[in-house]
Amino acid sequence: MKRSLLLLAAVLALVWLPAGSAQAHGVSPTADLQIAQTFAGNELTVILRRTPEVPGPLHVEVIAHDPVNPLQLGLAVAGGSSPVRLDLVAAGPHRATLRVESPGQYELVLTAGDEQAVLPFRVLVDNLASWEVVTYGGFTLAGLLILGSLGTAVLGVRRPLVRVLAVPQAVGVVVVLVVASTTAVLSKDLPPAIPDGAPPTATSGTDPADGSAPNGRPYVNLGLATVPARPSAGKPFDLQLRLYDGNTGRAVDDVVAHHAALLHAVVTSQTGNDFRHAHPVRTSPGVYTLRMAAYEPGRYYLHAEFERTDSGAQLVSADFEVGGSPVARPVERQAGNVRIDVGAAIAGRPVTVEAEVTGANDLQPWLGMAGHLVLRDQSGTFFGHAHELTSMAAQAKTVRAAAPDETVATLGPALRFTYTFPRPGRYLAWLQYARNYRIHTVPFVITVAKGERP
């Protein structure tokens, strides 16, 4: 009798264990969503905190990076209530609370003066997968059968006919437990449940309406324009990036958060003296705008990284010209002395780049990583981007949790990167890391030797 009660308690404990949450690009009960934005003269990280239930509050955190261009930032859910105003006057987090009514697609609208950014996001609510229904339902049924077996055992002491039910009940308990336990063991290889609010899954065949194909959506073509058409050094101008479907030619508006941004843009002058790692804002479907200024005339290269739904990460590139005369650029203040050591760089072989920010064990993750290494060849035709190894490995292990944001300051002082250069030559490199809510950039050069042919 005592052993039966212990078994029943164990079964009920398994029944009450919480189910796992499915992951997707959106705000879920278990994960935050981070989106970096270069907006109104500021480098911002917009964090939409996890939403445990709907209808309910949507907690938004805007992290401003130093230096801050003071402004009043408006935040609103498109079609929702009146915007909330945040005064951005100092580096660090600024918090606001909005509201969402149901799972599904939303847009967060940022406004400052005549500038506007529109961030698409989804609110996700968990569902039970079919295997979870089998597992937890099986354990529940087994518990009920065990209760029935206990009742049969008690009544069967004086009623022999009742004991006849004991055998099928025992067999039923064994069968149900075997099925439920087997399903639980295999669960790691079974697909998770699709949460409420998630986008529809990709079609298996070609969809002429959106260009979908069996292996995902087509790659994207980039149209780049500058406003004005001929920008001058030292004067603000807009870069307008238009994304077109490679199959239909229509505007691409299914970009999702990729390494804490909708779109990563690296802009460099031909000399490499002018460098910008920024995050254009979505101003309309398929259109992203970056307001910037250049410090020297000449040719500039744009390399943009993003991820399209059902198509994976992509890299597009273009170039443009800047006129005028050179102007003085701001002096970059480093947060501590930075030592960089490049191993033997040979084409076709992995090379390790080690950096140390002396005495800094309070580095903050930027775009989810402790550091970034951006690479470009002299001609501007080759582009590379590597993430710091330790933080990248930690993020890969933490599948169910959101990437850390800049409110965490426990990283460093060592930063390590590994990269394989395809061919010999001289490469321009920029190391980036964040400390005290400021993004620091350290330029250097890597000379890659010619590898021996096998």
Last residue of a domain, one of 322, 356, 382: 322
Average of per-residue pLDDT across 88-112: 95
Same structural domain, 433 and 395: yes
Average of per-residue pLDDT across 249-275: 94
pLDDT per position as a tens digit, 4-54: 443 444 444 333 333 333 334 677 777 899 999 999 999 999 999 988 889
Q: What is the pLDDT of residue 233?
A: 97
Amino acid code (one letter) for 436: N
Same structural domain, 352 and 434: yes
Distance CA 32, CA 52 (A): 11
Kindly give the residue spans of alpha helices, DSSP state H, lying in 122-226: 130-155, 166-186
Q: Best-predicted range by mean pLDDT among 122-136, 140-154, 390-404? A: 122-136
Last residue of a domain, one of 167, 189, 211: 189
pLDDT at 361 over 70: yes
Contact yes or no for 216/312 (Cβ under 8 A)? yes
Same structural domain, 439 and 407: yes
Is 371 within a domain? Answer: yes
Per the prediction, the chain carries an average pLDDT of 82
- Give the structural domain span for 180: 130-189
Q: What is the pLDDT of residue 443?
A: 95
User: What is the number of domains present in the chain?
Assistant: 3
Same structural domain, 280 and 368: no
Distance CA 50, CA 170 (A): 44
The DSSP letter of residue 190 is: S
pLDDT at 146 over 90: no
Is 439 within a domain? Answer: yes
Is 181 within a domain? Answer: yes
Same structural domain, 300 and 365: no
Last residue of a domain, one of 288, 322, 356: 322
Is 196 within a domain? Answer: no
Percent of the chain with pLDDT over 90: 59
294 or 146, higher pLDDT: 294
pLDDT per position as a tens digit, 296-349: 999 999 999 999 887 788 999 999 999 999 998 877 766 568 999 998 999 999
Is 93 within a domain? Answer: no
The DSSP letter of residue 170 is: H
pLDDT per position as a tens digit, 212-237: 555 567 889 999 999 999 999 999 99
Is 382 within a domain? Answer: yes
Structure tokens at 91: 């580096």
Residue 260 maps to which CATH number?
2.60.40.1930
CA atoms within 13 A on the CB side of 207: 14
Distance CA 312, CA 244 (A): 16
Same structural domain, 276 and 252: yes
Distance CA 102, CA 215 (A): 31
**How much is the pTM?**
0.80
Q: What is the pLDDT of residue 1?
A: 43
Same structural domain, 358 and 421: yes
Kindly give the residue spans of alpha helices, DSSP state H, lying in 189-297: none
Q: What is the pLDDT of residue 239?
A: 98
Is 389 within a domain? Answer: yes
Percent of the chain with pLDDT over 70: 72
Residue 400 maps to which CATH number?
2.60.40.10
Same structural domain, 165 and 266: no
Contact yes or no for 410/435 (Cβ under 8 A)? no
Average of per-residue pLDDT across 251-267: 94
pLDDT per position as a tens digit, 179-210: 556 655 555 556 666 777 777 765 444 454 55
Is 411 within a domain? Answer: yes
Average of per-residue pLDDT across 81-110: 94
Q: What is the pLDDT of residue 177?
A: 59
